[in-house]
Structure 1
Amino acid sequence: MKLGARALNRALLARQFLLERTEKTPLEVVEHLVGMQSQVPLSPYVGLWSRVNGFQPSDLAATLENRETVRIVLMRATIHLVSARDALMLRPLLKPVLDRTNFTGHNGKQIEGIDPVELAQRGRELLEEEPRTREDLGKLLKEHWPGHQATALAYAVQLLVPLAQIPPRGVWGLAPGRGAHATLNTWLGAESLPEPSITEVVSRYLRAFGPASVQDAQTWSGLTRLSEVFERLPLKRFSDENGRTLYDHEDASRPDEDTPAPPRFLPEFDNIALSHADRTRIISPGFNGSSTRGSFTVDGFFAGTWKIEKKKQAATLLIKPYQRLLKRDSAEVEAEGRRLLRFAAPMAEHSAVFEQT
């Protein structure tokens, strides 16, 4: 069976809770999505606001403070917000990705000549004494390896040792601080599940991002050689418009391609735009979906970028469409944008939405 871009789009939106907001808890949604990009610390709050009915920032902040969720370097060697259980499952499985990032390219040159076992041990000792920022950790490591850059040493430890970036970083309404780290062992009491399962992870990836190809899953995770994992799962096969083989669970949601898709505002680096080798299911050819701004959708596809500017007691949402919107679409995007402003800047005396062409 062949699936076109619109059919894949509606399947993706349904599984991402972007066709209809869900009644699930933020923790349940974070687990369903197998984590959320958190390079920008507060991005998951906007991502959950667009996905969860009645979402309040305190609902997610509480999970971080209670250690039910964790901010940690995982997929593609980038910071993700994940459940505590997923941190313990994913971190050992993704070690090859983190090692590849650490020991190749620019960073590999920066730590050349250092025994990684010794570096990891020293970094672990320092972080188990007390949580430290990367800046402070780097200064202490440089005392032992004076010929190397402090930032490179600290970054290497972040990839070598399972670390959690701890609150107040990532907590809505609190001063962000400089992002202190603790070892996952001291923060959660463990560093790995007894038997972390890559088969479970791939299965869940399809639940959140499918139908998808082997290459799509590898793009999402940074891992390689996942074809044998797909073969172990009882999956249905499809093909896309270019003849690529796609896999999916038999019972997974695949709505009709004409299912209405309301406009949605998504944060910077949302995984919906970063988790497929072929991104035409969400990003129209010729448009950039990896902007450092947030993105918004029209009819299910990325249609432009947005950002909020705050000045004193005023908050303004600046919307920049890729091309002129139809009048009806423009009105719907503006209405959703005003709802976003009420969420992101509830105390602002004035809020406005402007289109930049």
Structure 2
Amino acid sequence: MTNPVLGPRALNRALLERQLLLNPSASRSPLETIEWLVGMQSQAPGAPYLGLWTRLDGFSFGELETLMTERQVTRMVLMRGTVHLVSAADALLLRPLVQPMLDRTFRQNAFARAVSGVERDEVVAVGRELLGRAALGPAELRRELGARWPEVDPGALVNALRLWAPLVQVPPRGLWSRGGGPRYATVEDWLGRPMESGSPAAALEAVVLRYLAAFGPATVADVQKWCGLTGLREVVDRLRPGLRTFRDEGGRELYDVPGAPLPDPATPVPARLVADFDNLLLSHADRARVLDDAYRTRVMGVNGVVRGTILVDGFVGGIWGIERTGKGDRASATLTVSPFVPLSADDGEALEAQGARLLTASDPSAAVRAVRIGPPAP
């Protein structure tokens, strides 16, 4: 039997439904949502707050701050070698699984040569001892590690430690209300539990299934793009008897978990704000299901920056950002939308209303809050 073909609109609606962007949830908790999404990209510490706000009706920024200070969620280097916000359970599960990718990342970095003369196990052991006494920032780690290996670039030692050891960034880093520079602890010390030690193969299969549930239907290349690991064809082949299979219009095989939603491609999608660094845009080798390649450089800039985007008919149709000026009774926050395509009156009204609600949630103390929607960019 020939696998059914799913076009870009079918894949788009499936992705938005599973990402809670077609119908934001009124029942999921922030913690449940973070686990459902298998973590949220957090290169920009505030991005997960915006990402949860777009997905959950009634979400309060303080809810996520509480989860962070109570150590129910944490921020650490995981998928694709980038910082993600994950639940405590997923931090302990995912970090060992992505270590092969982090090792590859280390070998590809310029600083690898600088630390070629030191023993990895010794660096990790010294780092663990230092961080077991207190959380330390990069400058403190450079000083301590540099004293132990004076002949080695201390910055390279810190970068190596971040990839070799399971470090988390502890609050106030990542808090919306105050924030701060990065300070590190080991995940085991911070959470008070050891990392998962069960079957890596079984754990990886479970994670692939979770990815398909939240991002599928997807190709093997998509799964690998999301996590940064390679060699996942064998994992998917083992799972294949229990999966649904489709093909895209290019003939590539797509995999999916049974029972996952596949909305009608004609399902209407109101214009919607999507957070910066959102995994909606970063988790497929082929982004055509949500992002036209013609707009890619406008959304994904230098140094890995991923702008906040707007969805128009479900696809990226512009960018947005918030500019903040002044303090106290002179503080202002302006959310500016820069569309790539003409907006209908309904889309413009929807974005203006969302922007106003978001500013109320994100900048409650601002004396002046405004939403501006510009003309379509040429």
Bin for the TM-score computed over the shorter chain: over 0.9
Mapped contact 1:269–1:290 kept (Cα < 8 A):
no
Amino acid at match of 1:328: D
Mean Cα deviation higher: 104-113 or 47-56: 104-113
Mean Cα deviation higher: 97-106 or 209-218: 97-106
Structure-2 residue corresponding to 1:265: 273
Structure-2 residue corresponding to 1:202: 208
Mean Cα deviation higher: 38-47 or 342-351: 342-351
Gaps of 5+ in 1: none
Number of matched residues? 356
In structure 1, the residue corresponding to 2:126 is in which secondary structure?
Answer: helix
Structure-2 residue corresponding to 1:294: 308
Residue in structure 2 matching 1:61, options 50, 62, 65: 65
Amino acid at match of 2:279: N
Residue in structure 1 matching 2:348, options 319, 330, 339: 330
CA distance in 2, matches of 1:179, 1:256: 44
In structure 2, the residue corresponding to 1:329 is in which secondary structure?
Answer: helix
Q: Does 1:34 align with 2:38?
A: yes
Gaps of 5+ in 2: none
Structure 1 position 266, deviation (Å): 1.9
Structure 1 position 307, deviation (Å): 1.0
Structure-2 residue corresponding to 1:170: 174
Structure 1 position 191, deviation (Å): 3.6
Mean Cα deviation higher: 68-77 or 136-145: 136-145
Q: Does 1:219 align with 2:222?
A: no
Q: Does 1:256 align with 2:274?
A: no
Q: What is the TM-score with the length of structure 1 in the denominator?
A: 0.96
1:306-321 matches, cutoff 5 A: 306-312=320-326, 313-321=331-339
Structure 1 position 329, deviation (Å): 2.1
CA distance in 1, matches of 2:113, 2:227: 24
1:106-125 matches, cutoff 5 A: 106-125=110-129
In structure 2, the residue corresponding to 1:271 is in which secondary structure?
Answer: coil
Structure-2 residue corresponding to 1:280: 288
Amino acid at match of 1:8: L
Superposed CA offset, 1:57-90 (max 9, x none) = 1111111111111111100111100001101110
Q: What is the TM-score with the length of structure 2 in the denominator?
A: 0.91
Mean Cα deviation higher: 49-58 or 332-341: 332-341
1:61-100 matches, cutoff 5 A: 61-100=65-104
CA distance in 2, matches of 1:285, 1:179: 34
CA distance in 2, matches of 1:250, 1:317: 40
Amino acid at match of 1:252: A
Structure-2 residue corresponding to 1:4: 7
Mapped contact 1:315–1:341 kept (Cα < 8 A):
yes
CA distance in 2, matches of 1:171, 1:311: 20
Q: Does 1:141 align with 2:145?
A: yes
CA distance in 2, matches of 1:191, 1:4: 44
